[in-house]
Amino acid sequence: MTLPRTATTFPPPVMEARRWLEGVDFTAERPLINVSQAAPVEPPHPDMRRAMADAVLNDDSVHLYGPVLGLPEIRTELAARTSKIYDGTVDASQVAMTSGCNEAFAAAISALCAEGDEVIVPVPWYFNHKMWLDMAGAKAVPLVCEGDMMPDPWDAAKLITPRTRAIVLVTPNNPTGAEYPDDLVTAFYDIAKSRGIALIVDETYRDFHASTGLPHSLFKRDDWDQTLIHLYSFSKAYRLTGHRLGAIIASSERLAEIEKFLDTVTICPSQVGQHAALWGMQNLDQWLSGERDEILTRRAAITEHMPKLAAKGWKLLGLGGYFAYMQHPFAHASAELAPLMVREAGVLCLPGTMFYPENNSAGDKELRIAFANLDAAGIAALFERLETLDLPLR
């Protein structure tokens, strides 16, 4: 019997992890440290919330269907902003709003792939990407990252077949935090272009990149839109997770195909979310710079405390964006260790096995720590709990 689409993939990992909390009591002296989900828990900037409230009260259009690809004003603003950030050329006709960055990815894959087509994805991979590829009937072809968690473009080239439709990069990476340098991204672009396939670059965590230089130079290419499909999220930058707003930048021809998908799934992205993101891009650059500084401060705290864990056999494999990706020293496989850590240490994180194919055992040794919601003191407490874990070693 043929399985329904949803039965072809695994349950949502974050929801699975939350079930590990059932029956476990946490005290005021030892509260839960939740580093399982990479999402802000604080509300948007107060002035943004006032702008959103004003739109709800005084702009009747926010309560109606809007354009499928987004409001013209925000498409124009994001085109100009992207052109400035990347020192390139992006037109509003190449920009579309989506209901979150996950929908942007789903829309891109739906416009690229037929049943049985292949998409090359660096491993460890973002599990929602794998889930959508499963449900779309496309094959996720794993590109294993070694050592520094950087994918090798030449290894990717060897994986391309007549059924390959795209290569996917996430930078800064989820789950590893690795920030891909321009020469690496450019090498992938050149391979994709030469083989007539798309390069999907998801930069959800771009605003928290450690470098102040150009994230990459792809938008400088004259014909970038024939190869590049760029994904972005407003959720992290402006704390708009509940308003579900992402973006996709690609050729107008691709967007015409993507529009078919969006129209049948959500009809239009959140009007309130679009007004919020537009206001944010026009008014909150200084505030967003401060948000980035705070994330970099927390990243530095990870580096500062890491020697304590290294002395216990831990290894930091990747650090950037919202993530520290670690190799643990324990005999337990990470799928057993992560639930155990809830009970033994009051720490909720995700095991590496959630980011690997089933037949790859590398994830048994790895854990993802999403640290964006811990301040420096919280990070110190996290490392103290990890340091005192008393479990059998490998």
| Distance of alpha carbon 353 from alpha carbon 335, whole angstroms | 6
CB 8 within 8 Å of CB 140: no
Residue 193's contacts (CB-CB under 8 Å, 6 or more residues apart) are 199, 226, 227
Average the pLDDT over 7-26 and give the result: 95
Q: Using CA atoms, how far apart are residues 323 and 352, in angstroms rounded to an integer?
A: 13
Q: Are 206 and 235 in contact (CB under 8 A)?
A: no
Q: Is the alpha carbon torsion for 56, 61, 62, 63 positive or negative?
A: positive
pLDDT digits (tens, 9 = 90+) for 77-108: 999 999 999 999 999 999 999 999 999 999 99
- Indicate the pLDDT class of residue 146, thresholds 50, 70 and 90: confident
Q: Which amino acid is at 230?
A: H
Q: According to the model, what pLDDT value does residue 345 have? A: 96
DSSP line for 162-189: TTEEEEEEESS-TTT-----HHHHHHHH
The label of the residue with tokens 């009937």 reads 137
How many C-beta atoms surround the C-beta of residue 222 within 10 A? 8
**pLDDT-based confidence at residue 166 (cuts at 50, 70, 90):** very high
Mean pLDDT of the residues in the chain: 97
Encode pLDDT of 288-328 as tens digits: 999 999 999 999 999 999 999 999 999 999 999 999 999 99
Q: Does the bond joining 351 to the residue before it have cis omega, within 30 degrees of 0?
A: no
Please state the pTM of the whole predicted model: 0.97
With CA atoms as reference, report the closest residue to 245 among 208, 276, 282, 205: 276
Name the percent of the chain lying above pLDDT 70. 100
**pLDDT greater than 80 at residue 128:** yes
pLDDT of residue 129: 98
Poorest-confidence range of 27-41, 59-73, 183-197, 221-235? Answer: 27-41
Residue 182 pLDDT class (50, 70, 90 cuts): very high
Q: What is the pLDDT of residues 27-72, one digit of tens each?
A: 999 999 999 998 888 999 999 999 999 999 999 999 999 999 999 9
CA gap 76, 311 in Å, rounded: 51
Give the pLDDT score at 175. 97
For the chain, domains (ranges, CATH) are: 5-43+287-387 (3.90.1150.10), 61-283 (3.40.640.10)
Other beta carbons less than 10 A from residue 42's beta carbon: 7
**Under 8 Å CB-to-CB from 264, ≥6 apart: which residues?**
none
Within its chain, how far is the Cα of 30 from the centroid?
Answer: 30
As a whole number of angstroms, the distance between CA 112 and CA 108 comes to: 6
Beta carbons of 325 and 149 less than 8 angstroms apart: yes
Render pLDDT for 200-219 as a digit per residue (tens, 0 to 9): 999 999 999 999 899 999 99
